[in-house]
């Protein structure tokens, strides 16, 4: 006879991940997820060894779709998953054993979403300044009760009326950038996506300058980026320039002040 006091098993969790040319950290990311019921990878055009690495893990399923924005892509990945509970992980984030254990011990409540503190790294060094920490990200949710919004960038889980955000204790390790070039590439990508989907917002060179200056002061001084030396300066400047270029790109779209045709006077 089954013990009536036995604790019921927690519901299974599917991990959903977007990938594109993600070979650098993917083996370590997937190896940390090998005990999860299912890992869905949604690829949008990898040309490196991403698929070959993924094929080494029996709990990984492979899907493909052209890029339609981060929010819609994450919702599509969740739709492919068998389970209702979804844990969203990026392809450069490693789930340490302590966090995995904490997640498995949760009494999952569909009216809750779960926020994980993320510890961002630059060249493998943890950064707790520059506005990078603490970096709580909502990553665990029930797809029958909520989903990501449709933003192409800076997408977020919808917090519906009556829902509660529960914060977890253990860090998700985020190996985000390894060079200034990668910071610049990401700034370019995100600032363009911002400009493309925020035509309703006002923009001007003055606004771009003031907001970028305030961002630098916040990241380098108020958020203690100066304690990380050259790395802190680089990250703070990158954050500031990202703000500057997203508003300048938006301003150009609104005023049609793009590059001039060199064949015309």
Measured between alpha carbons, how far is 103 from 88 in angstroms, rounded to an integer? Answer: 13
Task: Give 1's pLDDT tier (boundaries 50, 70, 90).
Answer: very low
Domain boundary among 176, 193, 228: 176
Residues 36 and 121 in one domain: yes
For residue 88, report the phi and psi dihedrals to the nearest 5 degrees: -90, 125
Distance, CA of 120 to CA of 142 (rounded, Å):
26
DSSP secondary structure letter of residue 12: P
Query: Within a domain: residue 196?
Result: yes
Q: Which residues constitute the domain of residue 222?
A: 179-255
Structural tokens at position 203: 């923009």
Question: Is the residue at 223 inside a domain?
Answer: yes
pLDDT at 10: 76
Per-residue model confidence (pLDDT) at position 241: 97
Give how many domains the chain has, as a whole number. Answer: 2
Pairwise CA distance, residues 147 & 163, whole Å: 12
* 166 and 187 fall within a common domain: no
- 141-188 per-position pLDDT tens digit: 999 999 999 998 889 999 999 999 999 999 999 999 999 999 999 999
The pLDDT tens digits of the residues spanning 94-113 come to 999 999 999 999 999 999 99
**Kind and range of the H or E run holding 188:** helix 180-197
DSSP 129-141: -TT-SSEEEEEEE
HSE-up (13 A, CA, CB side) for residue 231? 16
For residue 262, the model assigns a pLDDT of 53
Residues 79 and 105 in one domain: yes
Cα angle value 133/135/140 (rounded, 5°): 155
DSSP code per residue over 142-203:
ETTT--B-S-SSS--B---TT-EEEE-SSPEEEEEESSHHHHHHHHHHHHHHHHHH-TTS--
In this prediction, residue 7 carries a pLDDT of: 61
pLDDT digits (tens, 9 = 90+) for 205-224: 999 999 999 999 999 999 99
Q: State whether residue 113 is helix, strand or coil.
A: strand
| The last residue of a domain, from among 138, 155, 176 | 176
Integer Cα distance of 148 and 74 in angstroms? 7
Do residues 86 and 169 share a domain? yes
Q: DSSP characters for 220-236?
A: IIIT-GGGGHHHHHHHH
Strand pairing partners for 41?
17, 62
183 and 130 in a common domain: no
Q: Counting every residue, how long is the chain?
A: 265
Alpha-carbon gap, residue 230 to 169, rounded angstroms: 30
pLDDT score recorded for residue 15: 98
More confident residue, 258 or 178: 178
Domain membership of residue 100 (yes or no) is yes
Residues 153 and 208 in one domain: no
Distance from C-alpha of 265 to C-alpha of 256, rounded to nearest angstrom? 17
Domain contains 42: yes
Say whether both 144 and 95 belong to one domain: yes
Question: Are 84 and 198 members of one domain?
Answer: no
User: How far is 153 from 242, CA to CA, in rounded Å?
Assistant: 13
Write the CA distances from 174 to 91, 137, 183, integer angstroms.
9, 11, 14
pTM of the model: 0.86
46 falls within a domain: yes
Above 50 in pLDDT, residue 194? yes
**What is the distance, to the nearest Å, from the Cα of residue 204 to the centroid of all Cα atoms in its chain?**
28
Residue 162 in domain: yes
Residue 52 sits in the same domain as residue 108: yes
Are residue 171 and residue 151 in the same domain, yes or no?
Answer: yes
* Residue after which a domain boundary falls, among 136, 158, 176: 176
CATH code: domain of residue 148: 3.90.550.10
Contact by Cβ (8 Å): 71, 92: no
> What is the structure's pLDDT at 150?
94
Give the mean pLDDT of 191-218: 95
Mean pLDDT of the chain: 93
The least confident of 57-66, 77-86, 95-104, 249-258 is 249-258
Q: Would 213 be classed as within a structural domain?
A: yes
Any domain includes 3: no
Which residue is associated with the tokens 């040309």? 47
């Amino acid at each position: 006879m089954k013990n009536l006091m036995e604790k019921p098993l927690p519901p299974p969790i599917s991990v959903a991940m977007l990938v594109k040319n993600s070979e650098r950290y993917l083996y370590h990311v997937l190896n940390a997820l090998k005990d999860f019921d299912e890992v869905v990878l949604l690829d949008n055009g990898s040309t490196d060894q991403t698929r070959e690495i993924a094929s080494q893990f029996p709990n990984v399923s492979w899907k493909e779709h052209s890029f339609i924005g981060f929010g819609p892509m994450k919702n599509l990945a969740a739709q492919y998953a068998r389970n209702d509970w979804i844990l969203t992980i990026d392809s450069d984030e490693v789930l340490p054993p302590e966090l995995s254990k904490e997640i498995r011990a949760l009494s999952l409540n569909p009216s809750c979403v779960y926020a994980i503190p993320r510890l961002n790294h630059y060249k493998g060094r943890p950064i707790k300044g520059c506005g990078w920490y603490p970096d709580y990200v909502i990553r665990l949710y029930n797809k029958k009760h909520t989903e990501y919004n449709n933003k192409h960038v800076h997408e977020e889980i919808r917090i519906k009326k009556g829902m509660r955000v529960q914060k977890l204790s253990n860090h998700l390790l985020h190996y985000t950038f390894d060079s200034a070039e990668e910071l610049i590439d990401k700034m370019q990508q995100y600032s363009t996506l911002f400009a493309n989907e925020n035509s309703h917002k006002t923009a001007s060179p003055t606004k771009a300058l003031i907001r970028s200056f305030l961002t630098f002061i916040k990241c380098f001084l108020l958020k203690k980026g100066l304690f990380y030396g050259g790395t802190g300066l680089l990250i703070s400047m990158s954050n500031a320039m990202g703000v500057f270029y997203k508003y300048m790109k938006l301003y150009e779209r609104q005023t049609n002040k793009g590059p001039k045709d060199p064949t015309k006077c």
